[in-house]
A and B are shown apart, each in its own frame.
Chain A
Amino acid sequence: GAGVSQSPSNKVTEKGKDVELRCDPISGHTALYWYRQSLGQGLEFLIYFQGNSAPDKSGLPSDRFSAERTGGSVSTLTIQRTQQEDSAVYLCASSLGRDRGFEYEQYFGPGTRLTVT
């Protein structure tokens, strides 16, 4: 079946502009995650959505970052007033969520490479 899709695949923007990144999870997956990976670095957790629960925003690096998930499916990550340090690959993942303390496996999309000039 279809995997996680993300758009755009590449985004170049000028410092100070706002950007929106989109994620379409695997059908039936109730959990959706956003991560950031800077060049040569590990994965940095940003935000987690589970069903209709309030999202876990604990990883958002500043109030310039926000995300929403409409209808329990598609998610948009918005970065306002972009800075050069926001340049990274933004990865979305989805899963069946959690069950009695166990975490189901996450499947990643291809990512959006953001370059802030």
Chain B
Amino acid sequence: QKEVEQNSGPLSVPEGAIASLNCTYSDRGSQSFFWYRQYSGKSPELIMFIYSNGDKEDGRFTAQLNKASQYVSLLIRDSQPSDSATYLCAVNDSWGKLQFGAGTQVVVTP
């Protein structure tokens, strides 16, 4: 079982709609959770981090964490074509190492 699991996609989202990305993790000791955006041919760019259960909002992005169910999600409101990218979920394990999911490709269609 992979430590961090994401649907590979592609997730097709109409412009203006909400994109919902999910990520599950296996290590109950994980305390730090991150979402990165990666455009094709570019390096990952941090967009959100969350440490506590609940929601954290930053502009059009909302991260949701549920430690009991071991999942973290990312919502992108009012999706724009510029949001088309691969979104990487990253979770620290009990030894502190950051484990990355394989990424979910999001395609926003005009």
Q: Taking beta carbons and an 8 Å cutoff, which residues of A are in contact with B?
A: 33, 41-43, 45, 48, 56, 89, 91, 98, 101-111
Contacts and interface: CB of A to CB of B under 8 A. Distances in A.
A85 B100 CA distance: 21
Given A43-B88, A102-B31, A102-B32, A107 B46 contact: yes
Interface string B22-57: 000000010110101000001111100101000000
B103 A101 contact: no
Chain B interface size, under 10 / 10 to 19 / 20 to 34 / 35 or more: 20 to 34
A103 B43 contact: no
Decide if the interface of chain A is mainly helix, strand, loop or mixed.
Answer: strand
Given A43-B88, A102-B31, A102-B51, A56 B97 contact: yes
A41 to B, nearest CB: 8
12 contacts: A42-B100, A42-B103, A43-B44, A43-B88, A48-B97, A56-B97, A89-B43, A98-B96, A102-B31, A103-B98, A106-B34, A106-B46
A13 to B, nearest CB: 20
Interface of B: 29, 31-32, 34, 36, 42-46, 49, 51, 88, 90, 92, 96-98, 100-103
A103 B46 contact: no
A103 B92 contact: yes
A101 B30 CA distance: 8
B51 A45 contact: no
A101 B96 contact: yes
A102 B91 CA distance: 10
Contacts of B101: 42
B34 A105 contact: yes
A110 B29 CA distance: 31
Contacts of B88: 42-43
B29 to A, nearest CB: 8
